[in-house]
Structure 1
Amino acid sequence: MNDAPRTYDVVVIGSGPVGMNVADRTRAAGLSTAIVERELVGGECSYWACTPSKALLRPVLARADARRLPGLSDAVAGPLDAPLVLARRDEATSHWKDDGEVAWLDSVNVDVVRGHGRLDGPRTVTVATPDGGSVTLTARLAVAVCTGTTAALPDLPGLADVRPWTSREATSAKEVPGRLVVVGGGVVAVEMATAWQGLGAQVTVLVRGSGLLTTMEPFAGELVADGLREAGADVRFGVSVVSAIREDGQVRVGLDDGGELTADEILFATGRRPHTDDLGLETVGLTPGDWITVDDTLRAPGVADGWLYAVGDVNHRVLLTHQGKYQARIAGSVIGARATGESLDDDPWGAHAATADTVAVPQVVFTDPEVASVGLTAAAAQREGRRTKVVDYEIGSVAGAYLYGEGYRGKARMVVDLDRGHLVGVTFVGPGVSELLHSATIAVTAEVPLERLWHAVPAFPTISEVWLRLLETYRG
């Protein structure tokens, strides 16, 4: 490793999809860029989150869909071939090797610096390299922190000795556990419960609150809970874990109601915290371990001279990969514009403002049934003081639902802002609904008037006809 100090226009800390997109956009703007990575280039999403989790889930969901189709259901009655599913997951993650990602960065002329990067005062990043040395990187224009988040574990005595699963272990496990306890009711919890139950584990889901997916419409969590139970999982609400001990390879789990469970593994999917503990934030006037607050141009206003950007999960605006990549595209263009003295278009929906973070965030939960949502829930719209009309429709009543097999269960909801005459939120739950989401995202983002949306004709027979039924129901 060359330990000589180096100077770039932009230094990016963290090479997940967010950091890679920032680097790509700044290089496209003609700025010299280096990216610092202490683990695998490609980041959490590529190796321990989005990619491996969906590789595990796809066979489970495809089988669930097939089992609803007469003529096909008997052919898929047996168990999944778990070793083959895990092998395909390993291929999806490139066997946890990052050669391809490094080659791509090389192709766009971004320098990769391996090691743990820390801020060391204004525009300076010191990298502790794997060989025990260090190198100092100086940024002429900007440093972008794209370090994401890590799992937040509860404060239970002796938990480290239990060796609990977090999302990393849940997506990279080499074999199917016989019994798995999942603690939590959010997206990671329900997706991993779906995956491992489908692969042959006996899953118990423990939820402290009264429902799943509580930031979404209530019917979403209710239908997902029904789906998990029908798949064989034990879903319990209003219960908390008070102790966990690993003995003889098994985990004994104590509950606050006095009950006890025994499992082979326990997964805590109880939230995320920012990956900023050892980032040198104190050297630039920020608090280590905190989220980094940013404005709509992704710049940290708490740092003098405006050279620090925080992009993706680390700024706590939206903890979703695709939304982080959206922020990265904006941050890269902002840094490029400021470098050339170009005036910023940072008004809402301008080229240099991450407006969608607060208005039109799309999300898919890959469970059986799927959940797809964008914008505000009915409750969130009410909290904002909007005058709304909520329209629901059973997707199973749409002709195209027949193509998905017997007993299609699903629900659609649109939330209409009556004063402005457009949608502010849409939620779909049911098999295949993820492919409906982008149309909803466009409708919410573009504030398409309902009078115009009436002329967007859905093809027959598809479940997208639910759009027509929602609009008919709205008209009355």
Structure 2
Amino acid sequence: MTTAADSSTNASTDTYDVIVIGAGPTGENLADRTRQAGLTTVVVEAELVGGECSYWACIPSKALLRPQAALDAARAVAGSREAAGGRLDAAAVLARRDWWTGNWKDDGAVSWLDSAGIDLVRGRGRLDGPRRVVVETPDGGERVLTARHAVAVCTGTRAQLPDLPGIADDHVWTSRDATSSPEVPGRLVVVGGGVVCVEMATAWRSLGSEVTVLVRGSGLLPRWEPFVGELVADGMRAAGMDIRTGVSVTELRRASESGAITLVLSDGSELVTDEVLFATGRVPHTDHLGLETVGLTPGSWLDVDDTCLVKDVEGGWLYCAGDTNHRALLTHQGKYQGRIAGAAIAARAKGEPLDTAPWGRHSATADNVAVPQVVFTEPEAAAVGITAEQAAREGRRVKIVDYEIGNVSGAGLYADDYKGKARAVVDLDRGHLVGVTFVGPSVGEMLHSATIAVAGEVPLERLWHAVPAFPTMSEVWLRLLETYRDAPDGEG
């Protein structure tokens, strides 16, 4: 880092090789890569180092969901079922969740930055022309940073609320409230149909809330294979949740005396609840980022190439990794992009050639063809690659192979009356998997094998030699291959 006077702001200007705006998992991984490559790196963060995932998303949500999953696993087997009576201890679950978030303190994450040799500037950073970032510091001052090589935007997204009468006057839950609430609401309405909706409905139902889910469309998890939403809905109903499809909220009002919220629904009925969570999408955290100073539209998603370089900015200095580029809104994909972008920044800074071919060291190819995702409901859902519908839209010649996971010995030993389904989408012209989906208890732990097969474009002839251990649920791989071999093309 070097420091010089800035006559335009009467403030000193600190110069680094790389400036990263946003200290979530994406920004941390990108900064780590550039620092390890010998580039001086600074991270700017307006909230907690560690970002959304660590404090308001992945970590607290899974901490809330895991206790019921453990109890369900015990109740699924004769012998342990008889010993697994009673309900969850809500206070203990919430306390464990708080521990996993560090009680919303970032001391550990800050310590890691320091150990990695990465500088931290707290405050709200905004672009102020090419390679220049102005930070509004917590004490009301400003600090100016300039970059020799790159500025990386890693600011993520925030919850999107619908424009409804009453929503501005009455506090409603977003995903942050749903993962951090210190109390269990007696009644909770969840509006949505995606991953946040089904996971948070499941979590709070397990802690004792009376949960109603309102889905504007025809079913849950519409971007997944159709059977996924159906099986997850069955599991949610079995847990006591009320799921209503084809309905939306048109108005809401909170009673000043009781605090209860009355929701007016599109079918003309009313629903009274203690809290309402709107899990209705995400928008990019770029509205106050100074994008207009570099020719971009404030509040927009940033369009990037496979090295995460922003396409519409001259000079090859602005990068965007993570949710803000809208490629794959998942923490693990953001971390992956951070590693790719960090390596690309370092190579360009050193004048080294880039390997941008598909699956190259500087190409985030997996964003396009091998994105893994798990939904931690009961049953779990896990998928990587594309669905059968996506394959059809792309004009691929594919074979769809389905198999009931419960027919595998390992699944039957895992849980009495195990119910689940596996689907493989095979590209017939290329001879490898392009999509795999599992639904069933604990299937998330099988997903990485599918991710390797899809990302590695492993020929099906070679997969026959990847022998699954007996008796495990992974034996479903053998059954899928047998079904593929025995069924006519296009069937499974």
Q: TM-score, normalised by structure 2?
A: 0.96
Equivalents in 2 of 1:382, 1:448: separation in Å?
21
Q: Where do residues 331-370 of structure 1 align in structure 2 (5 Å cutoff)?
A: 331-370=341-380
Give CA deviations for 1:366-392 in whole Å, capped at 9, x if unaligned. Answer: 000000100010000111100000000
1:390 matched residue in structure 2: 400
Deviation at 1:437, TM superposition (A): 0.4
**Any residues of structure 2 matched to 1:187-198 within 5 Å, and which?**
187-198=195-206
The answer to whether the aligner puts 1:321 opposite 2:331 as a matched pair is yes
* Letter paired with 1:354: A
Q: Are residue 87 (structure 1) and residue 95 (structure 2) matched?
A: yes
**2:466 alignment partner in structure 1:** 456
Residue identity in the other structure for 2:62: K
Q: Which amino acid aligns with 1:370?
A: E
> What is aligned with 2:247?
239
Distance 1:162 1:192 in 2: 21
Deviation per CA, 1:34-55: give whole Å up to 9, x if none: 0000000000000000000000
1:424 aligns with 2:437: no
Structure 1 residue 211, shift from structure 2 partner: 1.0
CA shift at 1:244, angstroms?
1.1
Deviation of the 1:160 alpha carbon: 2.4
Counterpart residue number, 2:38:
30
**Among candidates 180, 186, 191, match of residue 178 of structure 1:** 186
Identity of aligned residues (%): 71
Return 57-66 or 67-76, whichever deviates more.
Answer: 67-76
Q: Offset of 1:63 from its aligned partner?
A: 1.1
| Partner amino acid, structure 2, of 1:410 | G
Is residue 309 from structure 1 mapped to residue 319 from structure 2 by the alignment? yes
Task: Write out per-residue CA displacement over residues 191-247 of structure 1, whole angstroms, 9 at most, x where no aligned residue.
Answer: 001100111101000000011111110101100000000000001110011011111
1:260 Cα offset (Å): 1.0
In 1, Cα distance between equivalents of 2:342 and 2:413: 44
Amino acid across the alignment from 1:175: E
The one of 255, 259, 265 aligned to 1:255: 265
Give the distance between the partners of 1:176 and 1:96, measured in 2 at CA.
19
Q: Is the counterpart of residue 10 in structure 1 residue 2 in structure 2? A: no
- Distance across 2 between alignment mates of 1:211 and 1:355: 31
Q: How does 1:427-442 map to 2 (within 5 A)?
A: 427-442=437-452
How far the C-alpha of 1:291 sits from its partner, in A, is 0.2
Deviations 1:383-414 (A, max 9, x none): 11000000000000000112222221100000
Determine whether 1:380 maps to 2:372.
Answer: no
Q: Which residue number corresponds to residue 291 of structure 2? A: 281
Residue 40 of structure 1 corresponds to which residue in structure 2? 48
1:61-76 to structure 2, matched below 5 A, reads 61-76=69-84
Q: Which residue of 2 aligns with 1:271?
A: 281
**Where in structure 1 are there 5+ consecutive unaligned residues?**
none
Tell me what 1:155 maps to: 163
> Cα RMSD over matched residues?
0.9
Report the Cα offset of residue 74 of structure 1: 2.8
> Structure 1 CA distance, aligned partners of 2:466 and 2:374?
23
Q: Give the CA deviation at 1:128.
A: 0.3
Amino acid at match of 1:376: I
What is the DSSP-based 3-state SS (H/G/I as helix, E as strand, rest coil) of the residue aligned with 1:436? helix
Structure 1 residues 118-148: Cα deviation after superposition (integer angstroms, max 9, x where no partner): 0001100000000010000001100000000
CA distance in 1 between counterparts of 2:291 and 2:45 reads: 17
Deviations 1:36-85, CA, capped at 9 Å, x for gaps: 00000000000000000000000011111111111222322211000000
Aligned residue for 1:242, secondary structure, equals strand
- In structure 2, C-alpha distance between the alignment counterparts of 1:313 and 1:189, rounded to whole Å: 19
SS at match of 2:183: coil
**Matches of 2:329 and 2:40 in 1, distance apart?**
28
* Runs ≥4 residues deviating over 4 A: none
Could you tell me which residue of structure 1 aligns to residue 489 of structure 2?
none
Q: Which residue of 1 aligns with 2:478?
A: 468
SS at match of 2:315: helix
Counterpart-to-counterpart distance in 1, 2:290 and 2:173: 28
The residue that corresponds to 2:85 in the other structure is 77
The aligned counterpart of 1:115 is 123
CA distance in 1, matches of 2:334, 2:76: 36
Quick one: which amino acid aligns to residue 23 of structure 1? A
Return the alpha-carbon distance in structure 1 between the equivalents of residues 268 and 347 of structure 2. Answer: 60
* SS of alignment partner, residue 89 of structure 1: helix
Q: Residues 155-179 of structure 1: CA distance to partner in whole angstroms, max 9, x if unpaired?
A: 0022022211000000000011000
2:419 alignment counterpart: 409
How far apart are the structure 1 equivalents of 2:423 and 2:306?
29
Distance 1:319 1:89 in 2: 23
Measure the CA separation in 2 of the matches of 1:428 and 1:281. Answer: 41
Stretches of structure 2 lacking an aligned partner (at least 5 in a row): 4-10, 487-492
Give the whole-Å Cα distance in 2 for the aligned partners of 1:128 and 1:420: 53
Q: With structure 1 as the length reference, what TM-score do the two structures score?
A: 0.99
State how far apart, in whole Å, the 2-side matches of 1:254 and 1:60 are: 32
Secondary structure, counterpart of 2:168 in structure 1? helix
What is residue 293 of structure 1 aligned with on the other side? 303
- Could you tell me which residue of structure 2 aligns to residue 202 of structure 1? 210
Cα distance in 2 for residues equivalent to 1:296 and 1:179: 45
Letter in 2 for 1:407: D
SS of residue matched to 2:12 = coil
Distance in 2 (CA, whole Å) between partners of 1:21 and 1:414 is: 32
